[in-house]
Every structure is written in C-alpha cells, then in structure tokens.
Structure 1
C-alpha cells in the first residue's frame, strides 16, 4: 500500500494498493533531486514494493551516467534504468519486471515522462493512451497533464497505475522504510557499544568506525539523521485516554 501524508492533512492519502513494483521516475535535468528520490524510496520500502528508478531524457544530458551512478548509490541493490527522450518511439523494457512483479505504479514530478512511459507499456491498440505535455525549459518543471490516477493493462500481462505529479513529499510513519534505505547503517547499529547510539559522537560506534575505514560513505551517514528527525516530527503520536492524535510539526 503506497500512501503519503499531505501538508496540513489529518490522515494518509492513499495513492495505490497491491503495488509490486514502484517505478520512481525522474529526468536527467533540473528535476533530478536526491533528497526527493530518497523519500520515494523510503515510501516504497515501507509499502513493501520493489523500487526501480527510471531516469528519462538521458540523451539531453551531457553525461547521463553521472545521474545513474548517484541514483544507484542511494540504496543497496537498487535497480536503475536510463531512457532517452520519449523513448524515440520504442517501448520501455518492462517485460522482465512484470514477469517477476506484475502490478506496477509510476510516481514522480510533473513533466518527467510518466504518461509517456505508460503509453509505451500498454497495448498498441489501447484506446486509453495518456495525454502528455511539455516542461518549462528554465527549471524543467512540468504542468499537471495527468490530474487523476488511472489503471492500464500492460501489453503481455500485468497492470500499471499512472499517478499525477507530486509537488511536496516528506517522511511520515516510515521508520521501517528509512531503515531499509540505510541498510548499511541498520546492519552495523547492533555492533555499537551503546544501544541508543546516535552514530554521531559516541565511543565504540561501529558505524563511525565503518566511515573511518572507508567501508561506509560519510554522506550516507550525514543524510540519515535529517530523515529520521523529519519522520519523528511529522508522525502523529497517540496520547490521552481516548487516544487523541497530536501531530508534532517542526517549524521551518
């Protein structure tokens, strides 16, 4: 079940259910944002879906390999695909994914090519092709061409859910998803001297030792606390005899 908590909302917004594979779509331009990709990965992990990053418009970048290397480094064993602009009339190679994980959903910002991908995955004779739009050149932002979720049959079997572009995304109720994203740190934590080690300054920290030895990248350790704090501050807590929910929100 893929869901997110909206800004100012009281509950979770349901995006899709029974999602085997979550295609996280971004383009090789100004839309590429590692912090946002991390949040999508966390939500996919929390939902129990198999996350796959799809980098579109690779032929418009000077070196798409740089984008792919950065994306693949976000999570252990993460699959990442680089695609050219609009696939130039070709079909997205979804066959191997669908055979293993048949029900797919696409998420990402407006203008990254989600609807174009859906059109290449569905049967050629389909009468439910998605409308596509353009992006602003100066900031790579797209317009909300897709305004509602829709379900489509994939050519060869399986189904794909297309979703509108998400403008705001943050972590809430996703502790397990964060642990999966930073699996290297999660695996090392039980080896620390102190059970409540923050991996920041405590002696006998196995995570800091791994960073010092080069086994763990320092930036991986630096990004985790901010996501943990965001998740804690954005997650409602139950208190009182009636279980009233209180949302702790950090002031920005």
Structure 2
C-alpha cells in the first residue's frame, strides 16, 4: 500500500511580500529572455548546408520535391511525425507525443506572413493522412516520405524539426531541433526563432541586409493578411511600443 505524503507547499505571504518575490523572479526571467534572444541571434549566423540530394514526397496533389514544400516562400520547417504502420494507435491515431505537438500548432497564416511554411511529414499513405487531419482538426500541410529524407536528416527513428531556406532553386539546411527542444514548438515565435531570418523585426540582432520590419506593425488577424498593412494599427502599435519602452527604461 502506498503511503500518502502531504504536499509541501510554499509559504503564504502578504501582497507586498508576494510582489517583492515576483520582482526578484522577474529579474531572472528577463535575463533568461535576453539570453534566448542572444542564442537566436547566434542561430541566424549558423552556416548553411546545401541539400544536394533529390527528395520526393507524396502530397494531396501528387508528387512533390523538397522545394515544392516551401509553397513559394523563402523558409521551410519540416516536422517528422510518427504516423505509419506499427505506431501505437495506427491508423486512427498518430504517435501520442507527435499528436500533442500538432495540437499546439498556431494558425499558419502568421508564419506564412513571415515568408515561412510549416509542413509535417510521415511515412503514412496520403489517404490515411487526410483522414487523420480531418478527424483531429489539423490544418498544416502533411506529406508522405517516400525515400531516405527522414534518415538523412536525423529523424528516422525519432521526431524533430528540420529548418531550410531556399535561394533560387537551391535549398539549404539551416538548423535542426529534436528531443526536448520539440516541446517548446508550436507558437509563431518559437518557429520563427528557429529560422535563419528570425522574426524579421527591427529589434533583432541579425546580419546586415536581413529583412526586418517594425515590431508589432506586421501583426494581423489571421484572416486579414491579404489586406496589406494597416496604417491605423501601425500608429497604435508604435505608440504602445514606445509606452512599454518608457516603462522599462529602454
């Protein structure tokens, strides 16, 4: 019989004491945030590796190359999800961990607005992938791996995000995230921070010539990006940014 152990909770304090403790924690949180920003800046300066092998995927519209997966955008993130015969839950479900990650993926329009495409890839046939997406309510493009793509990019026996950039007809691998690094993926920020161009905002430390726009100015409703920049929002967001900057003394 398992003995119940009482939960050892933190002390209960006054409002003033709680605020003081929160301020001390905030100092550490801001230091962590700035360290993460610096790490992303280093990532944007990582060397690129040219993909000199031809890969073929099956998509809802037939065969597709790695370049096709970009959908005309500059950057591509490919997540290898376990959905294939032999995976627990097949064919009604994909891997539980991969499915939990898929449930966290934000609206793709925001990534697309930053010239970035997110795609999933598995070894399951397209018919099963289409059925799975419909049942689970997932919207990301999802392709079938037909060759050694997963093995060549470190995800043949595990999960992971591979990041690519295209220049003309050439494709380059720029970064790779796997293991517990996959746990933080899902938001537009976590995806963009993993890319070679980053969030593409003026506050970022990026190499010369990289695309950058004003902070907040490009943000939009996910169904409104086609309308283009909104001058009123640009003024409102600029004023908000200035207020926050004054408050923090920066």
TM-score band (shorter)?
under 0.3
Q: Which has the higher relative contact order, 1 or 2, with Cα contacts under 8 A spaced 6 or more apart?
A: 2
Taking structure 2 as the reference length, the TM-score comes to: 0.28
